[in-house]
Structure formats: C-alpha cells, structure tokens
Structure 1
Amino acid sequence: MSFTLCTSRLLAVTTLLASLLVALPPMPVQAAGLPAEEPTAVIRQTVDGILEQLRTLPDAQSRRDRISALVRGQFSFELMAQGAMGPYWHQASAQQRSTFVALFTELLEATYMGRITAYTNEQVRYGQQQVRQNRALVETYIQSGNTEIPIFYKLLPHQDRWQVYDVVIEEVSLVRTYRSSYTDILRRRGIPGLLQEMEQKLEQLRAETPPAVEERA
C-alpha cells in the first residue's frame, strides 16, 4: 500500500472521528480524583451554617462551640499551619509541630470567627468558582450597605472532600499574614520562642470575651 493511500485513509478516519465527537453532547469537565461535591457547595454550607448559628443561638458559648465544629470540619488547619511556619516547619520536631498546629488552630479560628461574626446581619453573595488541577478558589462577598467585602476561600481535596487551606479577606491572606509575623519571631527567638508567644496570645484571647459575640447574646 502506497504512502499516499495510507495518508488518505488516515485523514478520512480522523475526519470521521472528529465529526462523531462534535455530534456528541458536551460532558462535564472534572479532573480525575477530585471530590464530587462542588467547592462552592462546601463553602456555602459552612458560611451559611456559621451565620445561622450566630443569628439563632442565644448563648455565646454555644455559638462558639457550634461554629468551631463547623470550621474545624471544613478547614485543614494542619496545611494552614505548615504554610504559616514556612521552611521552619521542616526544622521543627514532631512534638513542636503538634503543639504549633494546636495553638495555630485556636488562634486562626479566633481570627476568622472574629471577622465573620462582624457580618452576622449582612447578606452573602457567592461569586465565581475556579478549579485548576487540584486547587479551587471560591469567591464570596459580604454585602454591607453599598459595599461588598470580598472573602475568598482556597481549597484542596482531602479524603474525598474539599478543605480550606487559606482564607483571603479583603485581599489579605490569613496564612501569609501569620507567616510574615511568625518569620520575624522565628528569626529572633526560634521555634520555642514562637510557641511561647502563641501561648501568651491565646491566654490573652481566652481572658477576653469578643464584644461582637456578646452583643448578640
């Protein structure tokens, strides 16, 4: 069979396959191994759940407990802690890492809850969702009067579901903010010094009752 004849047949087969593919209905695009639930659905469930608890539960401690359970169920605090510690994570011992994750979880949770509770009576608009490879970004906007406050959530798949690994509030990343602060302390005082300062900060927070929460009791 001549080269020209083979080429002609190959082109004919290619053309036929192309026409068949065009005729088929479009299939939903989803990267292999990604959770079936949409990232926006995960964030909507979490944010709406938090705001619902803030609006309906009269007891401040009950609100904090319920919100904490919601946040810890959807946030990957270990990944966030690694990002906040940066290269120093690999220098820390297993015990230091465990202690850091526990302290960081409580601190970040308090920071996030403090910000979100300020918008209890506002409306939330869910914007675009972007999924690239195994990363997702979900845009939300708090509508406060004539102003929209952007709060973006970055997610990764973990154990067949999407989990938050960073929150960007008004273009400020929580993880990067902590990393910048911690890097300075780590350079001056090392890992033990950072853990000590985190403990002191938490003791201060525990001694205080967030005004935004108590006002709605």
Structure 2
Amino acid sequence: MNRFFAALLVCLVSVSAMAAEAPDAMVKRVSEEVLDIVRQDKDIRNGDTQKIVALVDAKVLPNFNFQRMTSLAVGRDWRGANPAQKNRLAEEFKMLLVRTYSNALTSYSNQRIVFKPFRMKDGETDVLVRSEVIQPGSQPVQIDYWLELADGKWKVYDVVVAGISLVTNYREQFSREVRDGGIDGLIASLAAKNKSLEATASKAARK
C-alpha cells in the first residue's frame, strides 16, 4: 500500500510539473501583457502612480518569489531573523521593488523585448530566461530572469540587468544596515525608504 501511494505521489508531481506553463513562455507572456497595457493606457504613460502600482500588483507580483528574493538579498543574516521579521522584510522589499518597477514603466517609450533561444533539460527546476530590451536610439539592454519551479508554477527569484543581479546588488547595503541596527534596523530602513518613495510619487501625482 505504501508503494502504491508513493507511486501515486510521483505521478501527481510529474503531472503538476508538466502542466506548468514553460518558464520562457510565462516571462514572455507577462512582459507582453504589461507592455500592451502601457501602450494603450495614456494615464500610465503620464505617470499615474495608482494605475501603475495596480498593474504591477495584478500582472507582475504573482510571478515572483519574494521570500526567496529577500533571503538572497539579505544573505547570511537571513538565518538570524525570526519568522515575523522574515515576513516583514519580504513585504518591505517587495514594496521597494514595486516602486522601482513602477518608475521604470513611466519611462516607457516604444521599447520592445526580444527573447533569446531557451533551452531546458528534462527535470530542471532552476532555469535562466534571457532577453534584450531594444530601445530606439540606444544600445539594447540585457535583462535575464532566474526562475525556479515551486508548487507546479515557475516564479522569478532574481533579475539580472546588464550583468548586475538585482538581489546581490542590495546585499552589501542590507549587510551594512544589519551591522548598524540589526534585522529590525534593516526593516526600519526599508520602511522609511518606501514611505519616502510613496510621498514623492503622491507629490508628483498632484502636480
């Protein structure tokens, strides 16, 4: 009987993995959906913060693993955080990335994304999807996405822009914040930065 249930579990996991949308297809679909909305919505192109954040929240966030992103950005100090601190860190880091991504969307000007050939071995659960952003009058910008398969769905846990990893780019800064004020000091710093960015965005929207 135990063998039967073990075999059944293997089958269910295999079916779940097969049913998952391919990682490159997912990244391409989400990118195209977001850019299509930006192209069609004049308010977003004019910097409507509420609409931009709503777009990111609906289309982008569900496809990211912020818990893992935060753990990678915090590095070895992550192990010293308790569950409540980890959840708060992930939430504040998510808000920071949302603001960063939202600001990038306001500077949209007819960019297009070209995806490079993608190869994945059978059974792989950690992959890299490569792309280039083509900008009129500028050099292309390389943007690569690291994804992992978890619970039958591919999710992004790092973005590498022009060779610079998003999560490791924050690691030195976060490490310094933890040295100065501990995990709670890092949380407070992120919260203050998010409030400042929100206030700046609100002020810009009123102009």
Normalising TM by the smaller chain, what interval? 0.7 to 0.9
Q: Give 4+ residue runs of structure 1 displaced > 6 Å after superposition.
A: none
Query: Once the two structures are superposed, what CA deviation does each residue of 1:160-216 show, in whole Å capped at 9, x if it has no partner?
Result: 1110000001111110011121011111221111111111100110011299x97xx
Structure 2 counterparts to residues 122-201 of structure 1, below 5 A: 122-131=111-120, 133-145=124-136, 147-201=139-193
Aligned amino acid, residue 178 of structure 1: Y
Q: Take 2:159 and 2:194, find their aligned partners in 1: how far apart are those partners?
A: 20
Query: Which residue in the other structure is 2:32 paired with?
Result: 48
Query: Which residue in the other structure is 2:5 paired with?
Result: none
Q: Return closer, same or farther for 1:55/1:39 CA change in 2, 3 Å cut-off.
A: same
Please tell me whether the aligned partners of residues 53 and 99 of structure 2 are also in contact (alpha carbons under 8 angstroms).
Answer: no
Query: Once the two structures are superposed, what CA deviation does each residue of 1:41-82 show, in whole Å capped at 9, x if it has no partner?
Result: 100111111112212223322232022221111111111011
Please tell me whether the aligned partners of residues 52 and 102 of structure 2 are also in contact (alpha carbons under 8 angstroms).
Answer: no
Structure 2 runs not aligned, ≥5 long: 1-13
Q: Take 2:106 and 2:127, find their aligned partners in 1: how far apart are those partners?
A: 24
Query: Which residue in the other structure is 1:74 paired with?
Result: 63
Give the alignment's TM-score, normalised by structure 2.
0.80
Give the alignment's TM-score, normalised by structure 1.
0.76
Query: Once the two structures are superposed, what CA deviation does each residue of 1:1-31 show, in whole Å capped at 9, x if it has no partner?
Result: xxxxxxxxxxxxxxxxxxxxxxxxxxxxxxx
Looking at secondary structure, tell me which structure has more helix per residue.
2
| Partner SS for 2:201 | coil
RMSD of the TM alignment (CA)?
A: 2.2
Query: Which residue in the other structure is 2:4 paired with?
Result: none
Please tell me whether the aligned partners of residues 53 and 67 of structure 1 are also in contact (alpha carbons under 8 angstroms).
Answer: no
Identity of aligned residues (%): 27
